[in-house]
Structures are given as C-alpha cells and as structure tokens.
Structure 1
Amino acid sequence: MFSIDFLVGFTIFMVALIAVASMVPGLLAGLQSSGIDYDAVAYRTGVILAEDPGWPVDPPWEAYDVNHKDEIERMGLAVSKDAPNILLSTKIEKFFNTSFFDPEDYRSKVIFGEIPYSYNITLRSLDGRYNHKVGQETPEGYGYGYIRRVVKIKEPSVAVIDEGFKNQYTITISPGDNSTTRTFTVRLDFSRLLNASIDPAYRIDPRTEPVNITITNFEAFLNGTASNATLKSVTFWLGSSSFPFPYDEDDTDYYTLRIDNNPDLYPPEPGVGVSSNISFVLKPAATSLFELGPTSILDIRFTFENADYPHTNITGIHYYDYNPKNVTRPALKPAVLEVAIW
C-alpha cells in the first residue's frame, strides 16, 4: 500500500504538472509566427469587386462627386447583387480613376482591414477595349496573394434615330401652319425599363448607366430646301415638371451634347444650327437628382425653332426601351479581373 505521504506528494506533483502544462502555450505565444493569409484577402477583395454593386446603391456610389466621396462605403463593380461577375462599365470607369481616388480609398473601400496592404488590381477585356490597372507592381516570387476571375462587362445601350424613322417622326406641314417650332421627345418610361422580368445583366437602368441618343442623317428630317434647323434647347421633364437645369451649357458631369461632330462647336451654345447629326448623353449623375420610381416617366425634349419657317419636320415620341428597333444593347464583353495583395 502506498503511504499517505506518497499520495500527497504525487497529488501535488500532478497539480503542478497540469498548471505548468496550461501555462506553456501562453509563454510561447510570442514566439509563434503571425503569418497573414494573403490569398484569403485577395479572394475577399475579388468577391467584393465581382459580386457586389457597392454601397450606396441609390444613388450609386459611382455617381458621387468629390464633395461626397467620404459617403462611399464600398466600391463593388457588379451590375447587381443578383448578377455576379457582370461588371458595369460606369463603375469600372469611376473605380480606375486615380485622380479621384487615392491609395487609401482603395484600402478602406474595397480591401478593408487594419493592415496597410499593398495591392495590384487589373481588368482587361479580351478585345482590348478595357485595359485598366491600379496599385503597385507585384513583388517578384510568391510573396503575395492572388486571385483571377473571369467576368463580363455590361456597356450602355444607345438609341440611333436615322432616316429609317423618317415616316414615323415627320409631319406634313399644311398650307395654313405658321408654327416655327418643332419638338422631338425621347421618353424613358421606367415601368418598361425596370421590369423585374428583365435579367439585371441586360436591364436598361438610367439610374446607373448613361442614356445615349444619336439623331443621324438629320438632313432627312429637314423641310424643303433648308440646309439646317436651329436647335433652340434640350430640356428634361419629369411628368409636368421641368429638369432643374434646362440646357444652356455643356456640363460633362450630367450630360454632353455634340452637334455635327464639329469640335469648334463644343460646348455648343443654344441656337446652333444642325445639318447632319446630334449626339446626346444623359449621365446617371443627372437622373440621380430625381426620385425615380417604377412608374416614373422622364422626357428628353429637343426643341427646334427658326424665325422664318419650320426648318425641320421632326416630331413625335421615341421610346427608349427594349424594342431592338428603338435601342441597341451591346453584347456583354468578356474580361479578366486579377487581384494581388501583399
């Protein structure tokens, strides 16, 4: 039989051994490596860029100007959370604008984390149309995390109104018509555009992408022997209310106007004569000024006015919608997104 003294001593020994064993991991904690899984950080960044539209979404973060840049919380490039790996061209354009964003913006709004990571983010389309890069050159060897994703890029739709619409958008002037004004309207009917049955990858949404309108072969719409028609104004109407700023100068943050492809007329002033074409782009920053709902109707009105007689017969309403005769929607463009973190 073991003596009482042996049992007491053995018990004390075991208690001490257990206490020491429990303390050893803590003593060695400072000697353990603190490696970072850069691949995990690169993967997370790739997910944010390719699968997240960013935040805010209404208005979208890419529409914010420099005075509101601090309100941008996350810079995702996806068209929608319901359309992963489909990137929106307007988000891409803003994201790679290094004169707008600085290195810390990319770390805090897309990479995240308290560590000041170095990064290299590139996006290249297979046709070479997109070739963007931001960040530092990647280090030699394998000392960085890396992820590559195959994506597609959604580009804006465009309405081309040419001589094929002549019979639809011209009127015959009666002998007693003394009017000198003609109005042509392009209508954005959001009950058509924001139809939930349309896949977000193919949806036309003026709140997040530009509206492109080109009136070409304008001479087909001229009246009689007139060589041009005077474009008096371009105005924007939401219902019966006019846009806060009717067109009187070119403001590239909101919209652009080109007349007859003449660089000497840029920016064109009101009252310019049009002989061959008009190119107009309404940007999301402009539409974000309105509270556009699922039933809103936004009209873009081109008003032509000449003092002597109407130089053009163009009139009517052109719907900017999913009818392929009215609007052309470019095919999604294949591209490769690469993220390196170290």
Structure 2
Amino acid sequence: MDDKGQIAMDFLLGVSLVLIAIGFTVQFVPGIFISGSTGEDRLGYAAYRTSCILTEDPGWWSNSTSSGTDWEAHPSNVQRIGLAVDDDVHSRLTETPNMLSKEKLIQFKLLSESSETEFIRKLGLFDSVKGTQMNYGYNISFLIDGQPLVMGNYTMVTGSSLLPGQNMVKMTRIVLIGTGNISVFDGRYLSRYVGNENIASISIMGPVTENVTIQITNFNVSGSNAAFINASLNGSTLIQSSNYTVQKRSPSENFGSYALSSPLMKNDSLRIDLNRSLFSSNASYQLRLNFNDVVFPQGSISSNYNDNVEKRYEPALLVVEVW
C-alpha cells in the first residue's frame, strides 16, 4: 500500500481546531490584538511618564559652556523638568527618587505660568497626529492632607479643569516634599534661660532665607499644668499668628494647631514656626520659649538653631491628570 501524500486524520483535526480557536479569539476578543496606540492608552502613558519624570528625575539644563541638574537656578536653559532632589548636580540621576526639592517646585510653578507652550513641550504633554502637534489637557497638583500645597505665594496646582464628557487618566504618587528648614531639639538637653528653669533659650544667626522652624520633643514635665505660654525675641514678646505659629503632635495624632497654654504631655512634640522677616539682619538673635511646669537643664550657652538645622520634608501626594 502506498502512503505517500497522505495526512494523518489526527493531525488534520488538530490543525483545524487550532485555526477555529484563533478565529474565535480574533472575532470575539479583538482588544488583545489592538496596539497600544488607542486614545486611552496614550493618555495613560502620558500621565505615567509625567509622574515618573517629576518624581524620579532631577531635571537637566545646559548651555554652550556648562550643564547640570540644578535647572532651578538656570530656568532659561532648562532642557528637562524634574523635581527630584539632586545631591550631585553633575549626575543625571538622583539617589533619592520621590523626594522633591522645594526650589525646583517653585520654578516648576513659575515655568508653567510664564510659558505654557515650553512647559508642555519639556514635559512631553502632547502627541503628534499626522505631523501636527496635539497638546493634552492636564492638571498637576501637589496635596498635603487633601489640600493643595502652598509655598510662599504659590499654590502648587498647574493646568486646567476637566470638561464634562472628556476621558481622563489619573496617576497618583506618594512623595516627600521639601517645605523649608527645621531644627529639632530634645527638650531634656535644651538650654534654659539664665535664672528661669521654665524658659528655653535658643540662639539664631540671621539673616535667614526660610522661616525658622523649631521642633521640641521629650519634655521634662515637672507638674500637672505643663503648657507652652509664649515666645520672645531679644526680650520682646512675639505675637502668635502674625509672628509665629505653633503646632502640637501627640503619640497618637499628627501635628495640629496648638492654642497657647493648652495642656502639654512629656511625649508630645511641639513645632514652632517663626516668620523669617524677624531675622532679616546680619546679627545674633536670642529666642526664649516660655513654658509652665516644664524644666530645662542648666546651660552655660544657648542652644544654637543654625548648628542643628536640616531640610524639612513632609509627605504629600502628586496627582497627574491627563485628558
């Protein structure tokens, strides 16, 4: 018997079933064969890319003679916008992704207002359709406790509002934002003012470019009526709200407003934010913090703010919306 040119029935049946399955899949599940160029996919990619650039890239500037990541100091020569803190301005990478620079944030806001066309181009918030640039709608905001972050005179919200019926993709990232400087003191070692164990003494060298923020922890409470009473600078009593603000944090709560003379526990933390205009001269200032039933150790010299100062970072949300 001659078997040449014959196909086994099992093989033919198997091939037929495979072809039927492929045909069924192509007909009823077409989405998996569509490329990533649909409108919604493009919006998602643009939102994701923008959030990554802002949080993981320190940015870049260059001219004919120099370059670096400190583009906030050279906004007219910025090539790429990024907000990540840069420890080395000559490296294109950051060691601290998701930790954002206050100075870069402010320049980011200024750039968005001065030239939206350049802002869109440098962030890549556009698409090319048949050779024509089509800009995306966008809104980029930085939120702390659900509210837009305010830095000086700037509210950190950029872009426009979504119109009814428009498709929108949102990307949200948790970040740390530099909001100024802070000096943290352990209350058990904070120097007292000579002659009064209930008054802490801190020296501050001016001028300063940021508000002076002092945080005190581990209070040495000596009675049942422990409280912060007031602050004075070079002997003059300061006015709360106009000269400074006070916040308190307990072990079970975040920082919140503190009313003068309210109860204070030994495990609480107190944050005092003093207006930078109080320290405008090239001089040494003596800050005295008056407490009740809180004792500070004997010290021959005042604790020094400038020796203890560091960058202050607060948790926030970056929200990028693209449509």
The TM-score, its normalising length taken from structure 1, stands at: 0.42
Q: Which has the higher contact order (CA 8 A, sep 6+)?
A: 1
Query: Which structure shows the higher strand fraction?
Result: 2
